[in-house]
Amino acid sequence: MFAIEDRLGGKASGGRIDIRVTNRSDPERIEVVVSDSGIGLDSKRYDAFCEIDTDFKRSRGGKGVGRLFWLDAFSTIRVESTYHRDGASLQRAFDFLLNNREQVMPRFEDVEAASADCGTTITFKGLRTKEYADTFPRRSDTFLRYFSAHFIADFLVGSGPTIFIDLDGELTEYPKAVAELTVGNPLETTFDHSEFGTLKIVGFTCLAEASTGLEGRHQLHLLANDRTVETRKVDNLLGVENLERNGQSDLVFHGCVSGEYLDLRVNEGRTAFNLPERTLKDISRACMEIVKERLLPDQVAKFVKDRHQSYVSFVERYPTFGFDADELQLRRVPFHATSAEDFASGLIKYQIRREETRQSSLQALIDALDLDQVPINLEATVESAAKEIQASEQLALAQHVVRRKLSLELLDRLIKRIRARDGKEDDYHLESTLHAFIVPMRVRGDDGAELKSRAHDLWVVDERLAFTRAFSSDKRLDAILAEGGTRDRPDLLVWDLAYGLGVTDADNPDSVDVSEPLRTVMVVEFKKPGRTVYAKAEDNIEQQITKYLAQLKGGEIESFDRARVRVADDCIFYCYVVADIRGDLEQQLSSWETTSNGQGRIRQLRGFYRGQIEVIQWQDLINDAWLRNRATLHAAGLSRNRPTPLKPKAEPPPSDDDAED
Query: Is pLDDT above 80 for 31?
Result: yes
What number of residues does the chain have? 661
Q: What's 576's DSSP letter? A: E
Complete DSSP assignment for 58-103: GGGT--S-HHHHHHHHEEEEEEEEEEEETTEEEEEEEEE---SS-S
Residue 259 pLDDT: 95
Neighbours of 357 (CB within 10 A): 12
CB–CB of 262/223 below 8 Å? yes
**Please, how many CA atoms are within 13 Å of residue 304, restricted to the half-sphere of its CB?**
13
Exposed/middle/buried for residue 508 (C-beta within 10 Å: 0-12, 13-18, 19+): exposed
Please determine, for residue 389, whether its predicted confidence score (pLDDT) is greater than 50.
Answer: yes
CB 556 within 8 A of CB 566: yes
In terms of C-beta density within 10 A (0-12 exposed, 13-18 middle, 19 or more buried), how is residue 268 classed? middle
CA distance 416 to 580: 12
Q: What is the pLDDT of residue 653?
A: 59
> At a CB cut-off of 8 Å and minimum separation 6, what does 344 contact?
314, 318, 321
The answer to whether the beta carbons of residues 224 and 189 sit under 8 Å apart is no
Give the 3-state DSSP-derived string for 447-458, with helices as H, strands as E and coil as C: CCCCHHHHCCCH
What stretch of H or E contains 334? none
Report whether pLDDT(509) > 70.
no
**Amino acid 502: pLDDT:** 37
Q: Where are the domains of the chain?
A: 2-136, 175-295, 303-375, 408-630
pLDDT at residue 255, as a whole number: 95
Residue 316: phi and psi, rounded to 5, are -65, -35
Over range 181-185, report the average pLDDT.
Answer: 91
Give residue 423's pLDDT: 62
Burial (CB < 10 A; 0-12, 13-18, 19+), residue 231, is buried
Residue 148, pLDDT > 70, answer yes
CATH of the structural domain 175-295, one choice from 3.20.20, 3.30.70, 3.30.1050, 3.30.230: 3.30.230
- Looking at residue 338, what DSSP letter applies? -
Rounded Cα distance between 351 and 349, Å, is: 5
In this predicted structure, the answer to whether residue 273 has a pLDDT above a threshold of 90 is: yes
Pick the CATH number of 2-136 from 3.40.50.10800, 2.30.30.240, 3.30.565.10, 3.30.365.10: 3.30.565.10
The pLDDT confidence band at residue 147, using thresholds 50, 70 and 90, is confident
pLDDT band at 209 (very low <50, low <70, confident <90, very high): confident
Which of 578, 582, 558, 556 has the alpha carbon at shortest distance from 567?
556
Write down the pTM of the prediction: 0.58
Q: Give tens-digit pLDDT for 100-143.
A: 778 899 999 999 988 889 999 999 999 998 999 998 998 998 88
**What percent of the chain shows pLDDT beyond 70?**
82
Longest dimension (CA), the chain: 130
Rounded to an integer, the average pLDDT of 501-510 is 44
Q: Does residue 628 register a pLDDT over 50?
A: yes
Confidence of residue 315 (pLDDT cuts 50, 70, 90): confident
Q: Average model confidence (pLDDT) for the chain?
A: 83
